[in-house]
Structure 1
């Protein structure tokens, strides 16, 4: 395992967090922009969810293909290459003249963004010892909070004043700055290349072999179900707030800001808790507690904006918070020489779960002539049921270090 001085390690983690910030902002900003996209292109919420699904499906496919090559390159060089393509994809979104071109641009963004998440988690697995990966994942996952606190609200305000394309122009600028910083600060990340390279003829058999290990399959199933449950709810929050509760699109900014501020403080706390109490145990508690805000968000009565500013942080803290112990747990599942490939496949399956959740969630919704959206409560109950399944299933997921013991005990 590669080791870095503490200061260099902190720089690396925060640069990874900033990189992940752009990926998450790119994905999240589509959700509060939904009302403006619906108006600009004369489409319904199910069609907007199609754009979210296009990103997710392509990210899943890209992550799956990345499993064949991610462990064959210096992680820094691969990160910079994919980040460059990701920046180009956001420029394509910004200049899209119609919704069809936007869909294709979102697909391109998925092809690049899906790989970035896997590379980032592989770097954490290469550099950070297992006993500190919860805290390290918490630092990187503050990117979710940063996107909610700064990225999405600023993007929504820009969209309200300068059009829906302006957040994507902002992403292009931010990505260029972060790319330049990463190119200068990140060290070579090639320790995983020390051993003999896998012959090209063995790449596909080795990929298929990942699916023949029970530990891997249990982890993959947990990732898919966890993400599907979240995406049954998340993409439709903004359209429901605007269409059903009468919240102004610009005021949705304050809702996401409140949620982001909460996760900014809780992400690292949850990461440290996972290191101390055990990643499975912490995931189990947070996933169980997340069911309540999921049901609340999907069954909202007519509430004023101030009440939403109180409710939404609980949703954001718990639904995003359960991802932290899960991601830290997943870095311990494969053997080190398979870590990049495993995390690429897992990232792909998470994105497929996202696409499945957004697609199924859109199918249950309908919009009347007044713009009111119905069927959202069904999504909440489905998400709650799937979350309960993950609470039970996480006990089946074992790391590489404890798997032999568990097998003997069984």
Structure 2
């Protein structure tokens, strides 16, 4: 754990939120641009879902492989190299002239994004004490809000007025700018390198132990369930609104702006609430609340646009509200020396769930002769079933000894838990 002055710690957290902003904007902007991309490349909803999934699956593979090396490097250097490659991936996407090239560029973006996502959470877990980690995670989650308030609406607007590729040129420029600030502000984070790393020949067996360690498996299952449920619905909101309800790109931009503005404030408030009353309790509250909005969105009747705007904002507040405490819970699962490898692997599982959700969701949809998207209601019911299962499963997720009291649920001093064997020596760890 690095002992940074709180003012410097806070600046660093907000900078990482900007990094997260570009990552999330890169992924999110594909969804509202879906109608334009489908027209530009003459592809179906399932092919569009495959483009979304290409990013996620490659991000997952990249994050999983990162578990074998992320703790062998200074976190600052690794962050900078991956971030500049991420900028290059956006240039490649903007230059794509065919569907296969689009898939390849999204895969490249996913490879770099997987490393970046794991690196951001590893730095947070290194520099922020567990009692403030919920609030810090909430700040990182404002990257989602900032992307929704500014990034995605701006991307949709310039995509509508210029070309679908314009948002990716914008992202490349933003990424380079933030990378310069990162090089100046983020200190060297190499304390974990003081311990000798295991030989590379041992990394794959160690990675297998990481993935099959019981406490980790339960946490991975929670991540997969939530992301699978989330992505059965989210990627298809914009195509559904355009095809079934005639919402224009400017309206899509306004919806994301309203939702992002709302979550910008609520993410941090939810993080503080989770620190006060327990991460599991807040996860269950927002997880239960999220079930109804999902069904409303996937069975949306013809309603005036002025009703859609606050409705979409409420949907985003509740949906993101379960992610903040979940991320805080997950940072307490590994012990300190295995934290980087665990978070890399969890990032891989998150991306796998994201990719599977988008892919399966696309397979469940079709278009009728009038161009309307059909089958979205089934996506909603499956999503609700998986999310309800996650509300039960979170009780099985256990934290490392000495951290359970921060969670406010099973594993607290007042709730004895079954002893768990010590964590194995893992890939990239000393």
TM-score (norm 2): 0.93
CA distance in structure 2 between the aligned counterparts of 1:406 and 1:225, rounded to whole angstroms: 23
Find the aligned partners of 1:171 and 1:15 in 2 and give their Cα distance. Answer: 16
Tell me if 1:406 matches 2:417. Answer: yes
- Name the CA distance, whole Å, in 1 between partners of 2:383 and 2:196: 44
* Alignment of 1:350 onto 2:350: yes
Q: Within the alignment, does 1:183 sit opposite 2:183 as a pair?
A: yes
Mean alpha-carbon deviation: is it higher for 314-323 or for 388-397? 314-323
Q: How does 1:65-214 map to 2 (within 5 A)?
A: 65-214=65-214
Tell me if the contact between 2:157 and 2:249 (Cα under 8 Å) persists in the aligned partners: no
Q: Quick one: structure 1 residues 212 and 103, their matched pair in 2 at CA, closer, same or farther if it must change by over 3 Å?
A: closer
**Whole-Å Cα distance in 2 between the matches of residues 195 and 280 of structure 1?**
33
Equivalent residue, structure 2, for 1:325 = 325
In the TM superposition, 1:2-401 aligns within 5 A as 2-401=2-401
CA-CA distance at 1:408 after TM superposition: 4.4
Q: Answer yes or no: is the 8 Å Cα contact 1:283–1:326 preserved in 2.
A: yes
| Higher mean C-alpha displacement, 225-234 vs 247-256 | 247-256
Q: What whole-Å deviation, never above 9, does each CA across 1:281-320 have from its counterpart, x for those lacking one?
A: 1111111111111111101000121110010011101112
Determine the C-alpha separation between the residues in 2 that align with 1:38 and 1:205: 42
Shift of 1:134: 0.2
Q: Deviation at 1:256? A: 0.7
How far apart, in 1, do the equivalents of 2:309 and 2:38 lie? 24
Equivalent residues of 1:223, 1:349 under 8 A apart: yes
Paired with 2:109 and 2:16, the residues of 1 have a C-alpha distance of 18
What is the distance in 1 between the residues matched to 2:194 and 2:333? Answer: 21
How far apart are 1:100 and its partner, in Å?
1.4
Q: Does structure 2 retain, via aligned residues, the 8 Å contact 1:294–1:384?
A: yes
Partner of 1:230, secondary structure, is: helix
Kindly indicate whether the alpha-carbon contact (under 8 Å) linking 1:287 and 1:391 is maintained by their aligned counterparts in 2. yes
CA distance in 1, matches of 2:115, 2:379: 28
**Conserved in 1, the CA contact under 8 Å of 2:135 and 2:272?**
yes
Which 4+ stretches in 1 moved above 3 angstroms?
Answer: 402-405
CA distance in 2, matches of 1:230, 1:165: 26
Alpha carbons 2:211, 2:345 under 8 Å: kept: no
Instruction: Name stretches of at least 5 consecutive residues in structure 2 with no aligned partner.
Output: 405-410, 421-430
TM-score when normalising by structure 1: 0.98
SS in 2 for 1:322: helix
Alpha-carbon distance in structure 1 between the residues aligned to 2:59 and 2:244: 31
Residues 233-288 of structure 1: per-residue CA shift (max 9 Å, x gap): 00000000000011112210011111111101100001001111111111111111
Deviation of 1:39 after TM superposition, in Å, equals 1.2
Q: CA–CA distance in 2 between the matches of 1:227 and 1:114?
A: 15
Cα pair 2:55 2:109 within 8 Å, conserved:
yes
Q: Residue 235 of structure 2 contacts residue 358 of structure 2 at CA under 8 Å; is this kept in 1?
A: yes
